[in-house]
Structure 1
């Protein structure tokens, strides 16, 4: 569906046996014609069909009988695939190939003119090409020209002019080509199907005094799930009791286990490594983070990449053009230059075979499905082929500072005292800041709690907020002030030179300084900073090495922003920005670079994320908003996956271009062989099958790209 939300009203089924995008389209059209069906759409990449209306699985399988498709309910357990060599579709190839070999041997013994080899070849053609002919003749009657139509005309034509051996060989090689294409698409889809097996289908639930194993579909929000060491979590939830380390690689791509304790969020599909956990279930099975990842990745595979749209449009005109070209080659030379009919008809049939757009049609979707699947397994959710390509084209990335470059949690970094005991001064500051609304007050209170200071016992009165400058309060009959430099300039006039120098030094290091003092003296400087993520400097360095311009956007003052920018190595820093200023700057960057990404937390800076070419959200595992709104979501709460995502996207873009160039180039080269009359059906089918196979194998190389 163009509007994915309408799929909520539709029933989803998984389909097994798709060999090509064309077959998926035929199946979709067949389903739409079924009685009781209001709407239907096939997602070829995910191998699913969505149906609105009353329908049975038997009716769906009947609609897919032309390809021997198997259909099952989306929620049914995955059926084990038969080994490739045992699949029914391939058995006819074995029989056909055996008949071809026997007929060829008989031809050598009895002579090619003998009727027995001819009967053998004809039988081989019928068995191996039965489904091909049905599809091809049906399309021909509707004047629909696809690869099945081209192959049907070529094989029947070869039989008519007496080239039985080559006709039978073409049938078998085409069947092998289709089987390999089906195998490679299944291989690409397995990266997504493997995600479905991550979370268990049963969970141990405590209801009352009983612990029972319950299927995930029957578990309710609020149920208490018991997770023993070595078990995987079946549901998302919040830890009520226990402490353990969880391996979250399946969700976030992080290989290092994370410590989880009371009130922490945990996800289905993660592995409990050590302790016993009691978890309160917070989401139904279909709403877990893992389920959303699988759903969004499958939908992403249905979104066509720009190059795929080009290929589909090109193939629409290319295939009929090949039919016309083949007809001219077969007819014009005999009619106008006295050519031999048999030879030129043969050349025309060879052009039909070499003109099959198999390699061209699969050049993009296999690469897109493989890349998106690989990314999902490594903790990166790419929402479609268009974003895969756009990420590969990125020239500049803008980072929101707070919560992206930094942890988003302010912390006290320095305490410089000028009078009195440090702990006493921190106790007074924390007692005053307890009543403050200043965003940095939490850092002071947190440090006081860590030190075990009894600031809650301090009696304080006459608390007053001094707008934009700080706060004051009376403690032990003495008025204390906590605030900015401007507040103390008002109180004291000029501050001492050594204090001024220290203040400047702390601010230059990117820290915000809060001053504690009285009406007559400064008692302490307390420097607070939003800690830079350990990965930020490394990630920025990797991106700069990849030739991507990096910019940091922040609402902080320029001095603090420049200090952080220098530490991490970004090429440019934009400070003192309001949210609307960030949006304006993103548009300016797009005017300069065209392809620009914005990295944020998926909640703040929404306008800038939406305006960028690619909106990249961090911490998707814990934020539904990030999963739903971002074009690319990094499931872990750090930037380490960003260089990997750029490299994967660039490699996918390169492979797609290679595939398109190679598939068209091999066709052009084979067609040139018509000029000296060297093109044969053998060369034609090997050019077509070889190109398809090489293009597919080239795409599967994307499975090997890992984070460095």
Structure 2
């Protein structure tokens, strides 16, 4: 496309897609239309985004093309869809989101009218096709019993009426660039069966195919329901307070800085800070915590949480598009776009598999009669049977069905994984590298000791607080909080300068004050003693001379020991990466019985990750962890961490519980095991019935029943993951 051509981005919600092949079929068709580029679509989120050049196809023509393929397209009325993203810079992080979805157009064309999602199965077009074909088949059988002379034609009519919509969609898909579809095979097989006089089997095949369509649609609906349930956690309306009065507004219209009133029993409409009131807040819909937590003035609350006791007034801190629930939904939707290597392999495999099956079916039909091994009608029947049994529906759906179920199960338990590629990588984890502060520890350090080497303790603490007053680092905030609690007068600092991994300096009362780690401090007996106790020691220097030490301690999380033990039981090693000195690192790591690397700058953590070899998961929460999160095979951010960490990471522990690291690995391993089972079932049944079909042991209706049965078995097995629960 000419770079000078003006383009616009258009978005639709496409209903009726049951598998990745459906999305591939639409993509193939739309990419052939004039002016259309960068088509991004995923069947789970039902969102389509594309760029349309000026003078290209009309939006109405695009919708008509989608409709002709058997789907329903509605303009997307919300914000731009979040699922498809093609703007990853090359090398942004190690896990390439593969958007090359030229699947070879394998699979189904599924019809669904607008609004079908809200109807019972028998009210949908698919359901009506099942009822219609089933009724026709029964009527034909009734005719066979009552009027045997016309029964053959009754089965012919039942077949033709039932296969007509399937043949129409097969023809439309072929015109749009997808000739190898199950609809095309169904049409050929049903027509061929009528030609050789197998009308009863043809009618039954059409009916069983329709049943399989309904079952596959139900499986797709299950995956979508998890995302829909997340989005519905946030209430639709909110009570906003203005000038002493309240009025009801749309929650999506709330602006940062507004104050909302949340009554007992109401869901909190936005992420915010409590400005008045004290109440128990049930955060289980968001974080999974089973016990309500007390929230009072100054505390943070999440959209979707439930106020259980007393009225709260909350200042909105994040717009609707940026609140916790929206971020979770965005992560889950993006996850469905990041396909696992196994899934990509299956897609590549299916590109040549379908044409190969068609070729084999033709050979089975032609070669044996030509060499005198039987009559033409017998081998034509077996060739048609081979066409149906060779359809890779179960194989194609085996991986995405398991991935979708795992993502949904994980999201409900606060485990966010950005796609199948992450699940597959997490399952191969052999070493977990933990950041210390805020990850292995609570991230709430407290000042334990102030040692004055010159002047008084108050003077040392006062100057240290002056330097740290402008920092958001947990250690800095702890020093400022301690000085404030003692009522010390903290002077203003000027010309603050931060030195990553070393400390902060500022001009305070005409002197250059530095707070951080120094070589001189490391040799002081007082510092050695404090560090041996597992405390972090910062030196306070005035004009280059150490005047005192400030020691802080950040206690390990309560679940840290059990997490390390559980990982060891899974044959997964644990290592702590910290910028603290070796003595402090040794004290913390020794208490947790794990390995450690200390005195690491942010770039040193990257080197440490690479030195640990393959299969490394990095768990962190801070901005300085972002490089290590990107360098690891899998980067996992704590839910309480920074936005930078969450964006860089491949997943997140929403509940900020270390035990969820164990659960994440467990879920990923269970998913890969489930995928292995599905592929075995899909290929195993194909192998058995391919042989029996060629030998003439099984016929047409057994072939389609086996194909439908394999799809049902694979789907049902994948849905078992929805019930997976962590420890």
What is the 5 A alignment of 1:494-509?
A: 507-509=531-533
Distance 1:371 1:507, change over 3 A: same
**2:612 — aligned with what?**
589
Per the TM alignment, residue 289 of structure 1 is displaced from its structure 2 partner at its CA by 2.4
Distance (whole Å) between structure 2 residues aligned to residue 164 and residue 384 of structure 1: 45
Distance 1:489 1:585, change over 3 A: closer
Distance 1:549 1:359, change over 3 A: same
Per the TM alignment, residue 580 of structure 1 is displaced from its structure 2 partner at its CA by 1.9
* Farther off after superposition, 431-440 or 372-381: 431-440
Match of 2:319 among 277, 284, 287: 284
**1:201 — aligned with what?**
236
| SS of match in other structure, 2:403 | helix
| SS of match in other structure, 1:180 | helix
**2:718 — aligned with what?**
699
1:233-292 deviation digits (Å, cap 9, x = unpaired): 122222222222322223323333333232333222111122222222223222222112
CA contact (8 A) 2:70 2:169 kept: no
Per the TM alignment, residue 636 of structure 1 is displaced from its structure 2 partner at its CA by 2.6
Distance 1:547 1:64, change over 3 A: farther
TM-score (norm 1): 0.83
1:501-555 deviation digits (Å, cap 9, x = unpaired): xx97764442357999xxxxxxx99863221111211111111111111111112
Match of 1:611 among 631, 634, 645: 631
1:640-693 deviation digits (Å, cap 9, x = unpaired): 321111111111111112111221111011112145321211221121111100
Per the TM alignment, residue 122 of structure 1 is displaced from its structure 2 partner at its CA by 2.1
| SS of match in other structure, 1:531 | coil
Does residue 64 of structure 1 match 2:67? Answer: yes
CA contact (8 A) 2:18 2:220 kept: yes
Per the TM alignment, residue 299 of structure 1 is displaced from its structure 2 partner at its CA by 2.0
Distance 1:511 1:651, change over 3 A: same
Does residue 645 of structure 1 match 2:647? Answer: no
| SS of match in other structure, 1:280 | strand
Match of 1:411 among 438, 446, 449: 446
**2:122 — aligned with what?**
85
Match of 1:546 among 570, 580, 583: 570
Gaps of 5+ in 2: 1-6, 80-113, 492-501, 506-515, 541-547
CA contact (8 A) 2:461 2:483 kept: yes
What is the 5 A alignment of 1:162-561?
A: 162-412=197-447, 430=461, 434=465, 443=478, 446=481, 453=486, 455-456=488-489, 507-512=531-536, 528-561=552-585
| SS of match in other structure, 1:349 | helix
1:178-198 deviation digits (Å, cap 9, x = unpaired): 110011110121111111111
Distance (whole Å) between structure 2 residues aligned to residue 578 and residue 282 of structure 1: 32
1:49-102 deviation digits (Å, cap 9, x = unpaired): 224459768962663244252636353999962122332321121121122122
Match of 1:129 among 146, 149, 163: 163
Distance (whole Å) between structure 1 residues aligned to residue 203 and residue 69 of structure 2: 21
Distance 1:20 1:526, change over 3 A: closer
CA contact (8 A) 1:602 1:630 kept: no
Per the TM alignment, residue 565 of structure 1 is displaced from its structure 2 partner at its CA by 1.0
| SS of match in other structure, 2:624 | coil
1:379-403 deviation digits (Å, cap 9, x = unpaired): 2221121111111111111111122
Distance (whole Å) between structure 2 residues aligned to residue 179 and residue 469 of structure 1: 63
**1:27 — aligned with what?**
26
* Farther off after superposition, 373-382 or 76-85: 76-85
* Farther off after superposition, 27-36 or 308-317: 27-36
* Farther off after superposition, 633-642 or 308-317: 633-642
Does residue 635 of structure 1 match 2:659? Answer: no
Distance (whole Å) between structure 2 residues aligned to residue 433 and residue 231 of structure 1: 44
| SS of match in other structure, 2:118 | coil
1:196-223 deviation digits (Å, cap 9, x = unpaired): 1110111111222331101123332222
* Farther off after superposition, 97-106 or 141-150: 141-150
| SS of match in other structure, 2:683 | helix
**1:598 — aligned with what?**
618
Distance (whole Å) between structure 2 residues aligned to residue 129 and residue 262 of structure 1: 66
**1:665 — aligned with what?**
684
* Farther off after superposition, 18-27 or 629-638: 18-27
Distance (whole Å) between structure 2 residues aligned to residue 379 and residue 615 of structure 1: 16
Per the TM alignment, residue 563 of structure 1 is displaced from its structure 2 partner at its CA by 1.8
Gaps of 5+ in 1: 1-7, 418-424, 459-467, 472-481, 517-523
Distance (whole Å) between structure 1 residues aligned to residue 401 and residue 12 of structure 2: 21
Distance 1:270 1:10, change over 3 A: farther
